[in-house]
Amino acid sequence: MYLKKIELSGFKSFPRPSTLEFTTPITAIVGPNGSGKSNIAEAVRFVLGEQSIKSLRGKRGEDLIFNGTHAIPRQSKASVAVTFDNTKRIFDVDYDQVSLKRIMHRDSTSEYLINDSRMRLKDILETLSSAHIGASSHHIISQGEADRILLASLKERRGMIEDALGLKIYHYKKLESVRKLDKTEENLDQVEALKKEIEPHLAFLEKQVEKIKRAELLRKELADLCGVYLAQEESYLNQQKTHLTNKQEVPNKELQDIEKQISSLEATLKNAQTEPASEDILKIEQELQALRQKKDTVSRAFGRLEGVIEYERQKIKEVSEKSHTDENTSISVISIRKLQNDIVLYQKQADDEEDPFMLKVIIKKVQSAVNSFFTKYLTSTPANEQAVSLLQSTLKQKEEEKQNIEKELTGIQEKEQALHEEHIALRQKTELEHNKERESERTLFALQNKKTELISKIEVLKVKQEQLDTLEVNFKSFKEDARTLVGVEKIEIVLVPEGAEIESRQKQEERKWAIERIKIKIEEIGGGGSDVMEEYKEIQERNDFLKREIEDLRKSAESLNGLIKELEEKIDTLFKEGVRKINTRFQELFSLMFGGGKAVLNIIAPSQKRSKKNEAVEDLLSDEEFKEHMEQEEAEGIEIDVALPKKKVKGLQMLSGGERALTSIALIFAMTQVKPPPFLILDETDAALDETNSKKYGEMLKKLSGQTQLILITHNRETMTHAGVLYGITAVEGVSHLLSVKFDEAQELTGGV
């Protein structure tokens, strides 16, 4: 026994809490028309999650809530609870007892509880389907719906049979998978749309990044090239600076020396110029002039005196000649020697004398000496001796005078000589000094020339220095530019080792051009920097993420499709297998009811139904009807093929009401036997049966109750006899009352049918 009890409160005609307990395999609910029996069957469907208010005979949710009488006010909510025994774990929950409860409020909202815990409808349905129970299932056959399965469309019928076979759980799973698949596909569409949305931007960023990377490569190339260029340039500048410094050192030093020499020479020359003109020479010359004038006077006096002396001597000679006849006058050797010495002395003087006047004087002296000698030895007459003696005395006097003058003259001459010599010496000295000066001037001139030469040389070197400085300034600014453009750390400058060859300027120029060309290229590329890279990274990550999402979603869709296919296959297999089993039971029960005949369920494939006949019918249908018709046509359905024994007519439409009831009961029971549900509620399924068939029906119930708990709402006496417990329902002033009754009471209650 699985269904233990039903508790109603506020549901339809049951305003008060009412409980029906089920303790026997067959329980019958009996009572007069309108007492509320069917409300109990509906209460069970309600609590099992029925969503169709219409199928519960209402229009709105509040139609299910007790509406009130003048004695009892209307209820705010309807609640129904069913309790199952779960010791055999027919439900997939770990409780020995499972109680389901549904409460409906007047605003049509429902609450669902399992063992007093609030649940979603979905959870309730899943829990029920695991126990092969459902609100709209075949195991609650409502009043007048016994032949519903016969009237149902092929598709509905298939649903009923699937339900009976317990395939609903797979349908739920399939439905859930389909929903998941729909959601997955929806997500996939969204993600694909998002991906599509960012793709153009990503493509744009990719191009930008490509540009940036190209610029980076160019910058690398530029850095390398700049490194070599700068190294070469710096090495060249260093070398040139050293070279120039060395070159400048010598002329600068030389210039310094020359300048020193020049200033020293200039000082010397200035001094020489500032020295007074040779005053000494002038003085000597003046003295000489005075002396010469004096010499001239003295000479003239001497000449006159000589003339006088000559005259005297002539006179003496004349006088002497008159007295001197003796040719043998003896002449002392001393006198001769004296004469000789005088002449030698005068000769020496004449040798040294250049002045013609002085030479004349010397000649006169020689003549005088000779005359004196001869006068002495040739004048000796006594007559004349007096005259001669007088003359001689005069002569002597004159000669003494002459000697004095001569002495004076000699003194003058000596002084003149001395002055002359001094004059010459001074003149020579001055000359020497002039020569020296001229030499200094020549040297100064040469030095100045040399200085000019050096200055021009230094100027040339200075120009070179300036050029070098300009080069250095350019080098520094180039270096700065390069470092700004490619980054300081990226330029490696390895200087050319000392002594190693530095590349030619032309090569450097070419390199510089190459650098400029790269710079232009980088400028042309332009583009953003780190922000673009960051954005690209971000968008790329997003794109990758979306790609992964798409892959995951596709995989998930694939696996869901696989699962759906698997479930479909399982449903199909179980369905076919179940139909085969139902057919066996259906045939047995049909034969039992009708004493033979044929009853079979045929599975109809959609293609099989597309006949010409149907196509003709389709032309007559409205759009809506056509759609419904097509849905049915397209579904795989179940066709019931029956043939009564000994009757030629075939098909459901040819059956009488009782025959239809029996056929549907046979089918319901066959379905129940193949996959017995935990309980079966049959609401006046037996209403159309005659006594004979009621008996057969009763037999089948008995048999069936071995497999399934039965709750029968009935007016049928035969049926009542099989019930272990009978509940009687009475309605007093629109309110249903529940009571446990005995068989006789039950009969009475139902009016003894």
Q: Where along the sequence are the contacts to ligand ATP (CB under 6 A)?
A: 12-13, 31, 33-39, 63, 65-67, 143, 734
Provide the minimum distance between the beta carbon of 64 and ligand ATP in the complex, in angstroms, as a whole number.
6
Provide the minimum distance between the beta carbon of 753 and ligand ATP in the complex, in angstroms, as a whole number.
11
Identify which of residues 2 and 14 has a Cβ nearer to ligand ATP in the complex.
14
Q: 244 is written with which tokens? A: 């120039």
The three-state secondary structure class of 277 is coil
Sign of CA dihedral 407, 408, 412, 415: positive
**Run of H or E including 6:** strand 3-9
Provide the minimum distance between the beta carbon of 742 and ligand ATP in the complex, in angstroms, as a whole number.
19
Residue ranges in 603-710 assigned as alpha helix (H):
606-609, 612-618, 623-634, 657-674, 691-705
CA distance 392 to 381: 13
The three-state secondary structure class of 380 is coil
Provide the minimum distance between the beta carbon of 635 and ligand ATP in the complex, in angstroms, as a whole number.
33
Identify which of residues 17 and 34 has a Cβ nearer to ligand ATP in the complex.
34
Helix/strand number for the chain, H first, E second? 18, 14
Residue ranges in 78-167 assigned as alpha helix (H):
121-130, 148-151, 154-164
Please, which residues have CB within 8 angstroms of residue 707's CB and are 6 or more apart in sequence? Answer: 672, 673, 676
Provide the minimum distance between the beta carbon of 661 and ligand ATP in the complex, in angstroms, as a whole number.
16
Identify which of residues 34 and 487 has a Cβ nearer to ligand ATP in the complex.
34
Provide the minimum distance between the beta carbon of 714 and ligand ATP in the complex, in angstroms, as a whole number.
10
Identify which of residues 60 and 703 has a Cβ nearer to ligand ATP in the complex.
60
Q: 490 is written with which tokens? A: 């990226």
Q: Is the CB of residue 603 less than 8 Å from the CB of residue 576?
A: yes
Identify which of residues 66 and 373 has a Cβ nearer to ligand ATP in the complex.
66
Q: Is the CB of residue 136 less than 8 Å from the CB of residue 55?
A: yes
Q: 514 is written with which tokens? A: 């190459």
**Run of H or E including 510:** helix 505-525
The string of DSSP letters for 381-410 reads -HHHHHHHHHHHHHHHHHHHHHHHHHHHHH
The string of DSSP letters for 571-608 reads HHHHHHHHHHHHHHHHHHHHHHHHTS-EEEEEEE-HHH
Provide the minimum distance between the beta carbon of 136 and ligand ATP in the complex, in angstroms, as a whole number.
18
Identify which of residues 362 and 688 has a Cβ nearer to ligand ATP in the complex.
688
Identify which of residues 169 and 713 has a Cβ nearer to ligand ATP in the complex.
713
Provide the minimum distance between the beta carbon of 78 and ligand ATP in the complex, in angstroms, as a whole number.
8
Identify which of residues 39 and 685 has a Cβ nearer to ligand ATP in the complex.
39
Tell me the C-alpha to C-alpha distance, in Å, between residue 494 and each of 116, 227, 235, 283, 534: 86, 7, 9, 83, 34
What's the burial of 592, exposed, middle or buried (CB within 10 Å: 0-12/13-18/19+)?
Answer: middle
In this structure, the number of other CB atoms found within 10 A of the CB of residue 686 comes to 22
Tell me the C-alpha to C-alpha distance, in Å, between residue 391 and each of 404, 406, 666, 734: 19, 20, 228, 228
Provide the minimum distance between the beta carbon of 715 and ligand ATP in the complex, in angstroms, as a whole number.
7
Provide the minimum distance between the beta carbon of 65 and ligand ATP in the complex, in angstroms, as a whole number.
6
Provide the minimum distance between the beta carbon of 145 and ligand ATP in the complex, in angstroms, as a whole number.
12
Provide the minimum distance between the beta carbon of 607 and ligand ATP in the complex, in angstroms, as a whole number.
43
Identify which of residues 54 and 120 has a Cβ nearer to ligand ATP in the complex.
54
The three-state secondary structure class of 650 is strand
The tally of CA atoms less than 13 A away on the side-chain side of residue 111 is: 12
In this structure, the number of other CB atoms found within 10 A of the CB of residue 739 comes to 13
The three-state secondary structure class of 85 is strand
Identify which of residues 65 and 226 has a Cβ nearer to ligand ATP in the complex.
65
Q: 217 is written with which tokens? A: 């490569």
Identify which of residues 36 and 597 has a Cβ nearer to ligand ATP in the complex.
36
CA distance 557 to 551: 10
Provide the minimum distance between the beta carbon of 51 and ligand ATP in the complex, in angstroms, as a whole number.
18
Identify which of residues 33 and 656 has a Cβ nearer to ligand ATP in the complex.
33
Provide the minimum distance between the beta carbon of 592 and ligand ATP in the complex, in angstroms, as a whole number.
28
- Indicate left, alpha or beta for 36 from its phi (over 0: left) and psi (-120 to 50: alpha): left
The residue behind tokens 């459902």 is 134
Identify which of residues 128 and 713 has a Cβ nearer to ligand ATP in the complex.
713
Q: 355 is written with which tokens? A: 């002045």
Identify which of residues 63 and 285 has a Cβ nearer to ligand ATP in the complex.
63
